[in-house]
């Protein structure tokens, strides 16, 4: 009886290893952008605390928001305009991934350049941690006036969007 249990246990272990080898590569090498749209990836990142802050500026800038939706983050004109803002050699496709619109992408890119905070760090804090841009700047560079830097970056982004859409 003991020999039968041991043989079943070994057979089960071998089957589990074989199953792991068979499906492992498909689990570890999958592309997130193919399996889920970018909107689904960025939605859980928004924290409830940031919703009231984001609603007020949108109500004031309806035309700007409409233009931002019309321009995709993958638009060649936008990528050409933002390429000098990001570090040299940066992949624009990877940099733009996860942002809800072109204005948000351009705003974070300009804020990163203006404050000398790494773009990927600001992107992570805004998209994944759900921080506002000014909070992300403040946590990275406490010596900088984060609110004015966020406003400056937003104005630069809107200028970029306006130049592209006209």
State whether the Cα torsion 65-66-67-72 is positive or negative.
positive
The pLDDT score that the predictor gives to residue 21 is 76
The pLDDT score that the predictor gives to residue 137 is 93
The pLDDT score that the predictor gives to residue 27 is 61
The pLDDT score that the predictor gives to residue 25 is 66
The pLDDT score that the predictor gives to residue 126 is 92
The pLDDT score that the predictor gives to residue 4 is 84
Residues 6+ apart with CB under 8 A from 140: 115, 117, 121, 122, 125
| Spacing of C-alpha 123 from chain mean position | 5
The pLDDT score that the predictor gives to residue 28 is 60
Quickly count: other Cβ atoms within 10 Å of residue 95's Cβ.
Answer: 23
Q: What angle do CA 39, 43, 44 make, to 5 degrees?
A: 140
161, burial (CB in 10 Å: exposed 0-12, middle 13-18, buried 19+)? buried
pLDDT by residue, tens only, the chain of 166 residues: 688 888 888 888 888 887 777 777 666 655 444 444 444 334 344 444 444 444 334 433 434 443 434 556 666 777 778 887 887 777 788 888 888 888 888 899 999 999 999 888 999 999 999 999 999 999 989 999 999 999 999 999 898 888 887 7
């Amino acid at each position: 009886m003991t020999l039968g249990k041991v043989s079943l246990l070994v057979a089960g272990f071998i089957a589990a290893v074989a199953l792991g080898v068979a499906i492992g590569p498909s689990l570890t090498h999958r592309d997130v952008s193919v399996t889920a749209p970018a909107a689904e990836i960025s939605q859980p990142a928004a924290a409830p605390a940031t919703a009231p802050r984001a609603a007020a500026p949108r109500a004031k800038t309806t035309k700007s928001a409409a233009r931002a939706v019309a321009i995709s983050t993958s638009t060649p004109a936008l990528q050409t305009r933002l390429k000098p803002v990001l570090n040299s050699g940066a992949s624009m496709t990877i940099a733009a991934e996860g942002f809800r619109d072109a204005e948000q992408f351009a705003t974070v890119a300009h804020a990163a350049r203006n404050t000398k905070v790494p773009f990927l760090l600001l992107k992570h804090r805004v998209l994944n941690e759900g921080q506002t841009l000014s909070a992300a700047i403040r946590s990275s560079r406490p010596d900088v006036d984060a609110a004015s830097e966020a406003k400056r970056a937003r104005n630069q982004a809107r200028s970029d969007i306006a130049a592209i859409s006209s």
